[in-house]
Amino acid sequence: RPSPAAAPDRLPFSRITQEDLAFFRKILPGRAVTDPDLLESSNVDWLKSVKGSSELLLRPETTEEVSQILKYCNSRNLAVNPQGGNTGLVGGSVPVYDEIILSTALMNNILTFDSISGILTCQAGCVLENLSLYLEDRDYIMPLDLGAKGSCHIGGNVATNAGGLRLLRYGSLRGTVLGLEVVLADGRVLDCLVTLRKDNTGYDLKQLFIGSEGTLGVITSVSILCPRKPKSVNVVFLGCETFEQLLKTFQLSRGMLGEILSAFEFLDSECMRLLNTHLKLRNPISDCPFYVVIETSGSDSTHDGEKLHHFLEEAMTSSLVTDGTVATEDSKIKALWSMRERVTEALTHDGFTYKYDISLPVERIYQLVTDMREHLGDRAKSVVGYGHVGDGNLHLNVTSPAKDPALLAAIEPFVYEWTASCNGSISAEHGLGLKKRNYIYYSKPSQAVALMGNIKAMLDPKGILNPYKTLPDDLK
């Protein structure tokens, strides 16, 4: 029996003809790519776990060009795979068969920045790190940050409703994204690119596209509310003996650090082993079963330093943490953050990675790792846990020397049943993409899924936008 994560049969979309190629070459001179060598990297996802066979990569520069492309594809019944930085982790960013890849890589202009309100508008293909650097020069920061910042696009971030390392402090993109411009499947341009903090005129349509993973429209521009750059940032890296103590440390940090707490992340000793082995990163403290990265961001270094000092004193004297190190200067802050941010990369060197991104009541998150280890025994190479404690978001990852269908069958649906039994979500932040679409019912009632199908049918009646993704096969 094929796994529910496997691709369904190709749907009856048209195949690209010479006339189609001539059209695209005319509207995108030099930017309709057919060279197989150039297409190779756009056909494979970051994890190298899904490979499509698209023969055409389109690189528009303007909204008008995206509109022309989609209008044409819709009339010709050609399937389209919107692609940003191709860092997605659920197989949503690459074609399954021969879908045309529509890349936002050349849509990378900053449009406006209001230094009084902190509202930025930019094209969807701006790389997150470039936006961060632009803002930092102006004393602002992006409200989101993630390990893929050097490659991911803001449009891809919005399309996946990416969470990341700053969500605890600045909230989700559903709050910070103020407006979107989106091209619909038939080429109509939906201009909801407002730059207002408050706007209650009717339904908030932009929310439909946040987290829609390229299935409802192509996001072409984004307006986003950016926080001021904190004047004082501290990062501490601590070790805990048990997950219980880690949770108590989290509670203590919320109480004692209050408004300056900006991140509370964790990794387990298995992650540390992979960082040491594969990336040669050295543990900055003594070996412990659990590690936390706590960041504070505020406006007064003396005040923040005092608060942090009292918190650390309390955490040490009450034996919640066994060892730790503090960083205030930029290079050490970066080094400590890389212990958390580079776990994803370390895993890719360990073998084929099965990734799970689970939302749970925070006190349950590590139990799933322990139970999975016991459940899999020696069938897995490594079973590791890390994630965003402050958001109740566990990243459970299982590796094996190579792709292993028997191992996958042992993990799924076990992991989803476990999650559903705690009323958790099977995707906290990465989305469903190709790999998880058929498991949606573990986290959403069938009425909600049916309504999603109605919305898809209304906005994309021919289903040309990112087919085989997000929605389960039984809707079609």
Positions in the binding site for ligand MLT (CB under 6 A) = 147, 344, 357, 387, 395
- Exposed/middle/buried for residue 416 (C-beta within 10 Å: 0-12, 13-18, 19+): buried
With DSSP H G I counted as helix, E B as strand and the rest as coil, what are the percentages for the chain, rounded to 5? 40, 20, 40
Q: Does 155 bind ligand FAD (CB under 6 A)?
A: yes
Judged by CB, which is closer to ligand MLT: 68, or 176?
A: 176
Report whether 99 contacts 73 (CB < 8 A): no
Q: Which stretch binds ligand FAD (CB under 6 A): 110-118, 214-222, 254-262, 419-427?
A: 214-222
Q: Which of 291, 345, 331, 283 is nearest to 149 (CA)?
A: 345
**Closest C-alpha to 415, from 462, 374, 371:** 371
For ligand FAD, the closer CB: 234 or 344: 344
Contact call for residue 262 and ligand FAD (CB under 6 A): no
SS3 191: strand
Half-sphere exposure in the Cβ direction for 434 (13 Å, CA): 23
Query: How many residues sit close enough to ligand FAD to count as binding (CB under 6 A)?
Result: 37
Cα separation, 149 vs 127, whole angstroms: 7
Closer to ligand FAD at the Cβ: 92 or 390? 92
- Cα-atom radius of gyration of the chain, to the nearest Å? 23
CB of 317: closest distance to ligand FAD in angstroms?
Answer: 33
What type of residue is 23? F
Angle at 223 between CA 217 and CA 228, to 5 degrees: 145
Comparison of 165 and 410: residue with beta carbon closer to ligand FAD: 165
What is the secondary structure of 208-261 as a DSSP string? HHTT-TTSS-EEEEEEEE-PBPPSEEEEEEEEESSHHHHHHHHHHHHHHHGGGE
Among 16, 219, 294, 336, binds ligand FAD (CB under 6 A): 219
Quick check: 139 and 229 in contact, CB under 8 A? yes
Provide the minimum distance between the beta carbon of 374 and ligand FAD in the complex, in angstroms, as a whole number.
27
Comparing CB distances to ligand FAD, the nearer of 322 and 344 is 344
Pairing mode, if any, of strands 57-58 and 100-103? parallel
- Where does this chain touch ligand FAD (CB under 6 A) — which range of 157-165, 377-385, 411-419, 440-448? 157-165
Q: Smallest distance, Å, CB 266 to ligand MLT? A: 10
CB atoms within 10 A of CB 273: 16
CB of 344 to ligand MLT, least distance (A): 3
Cβ at position 389, least distance to ligand MLT in Å: 11
| Cβ closest to ligand MLT, residue 86 vs residue 344 | 344
Please, which of residues 318-377 interact with ligand FAD by CB under 6 A?
A: 344
Residue 153 sits in the site that holds ligand FAD (CB under 6 A): yes
Nearer to ligand FAD, 344 or 397 (CB): 344
Please select the residue that binds ligand FAD; options are 52, 60, 92, 472, rule is CB under 6 A: 92
Q: Which residues pair with 258 in a beta bridge?
A: none
Which is nearer to ligand FAD, 92 or 472 (by Cβ)?
A: 92
Q: Which residues form the interface with ligand FAD (CB under 6 A)? A: 46, 81-89, 92-93, 104, 124, 146-148, 152-153, 155-157, 159-160, 162-164, 213-214, 218-219, 344, 429-430, 433, 466, 469
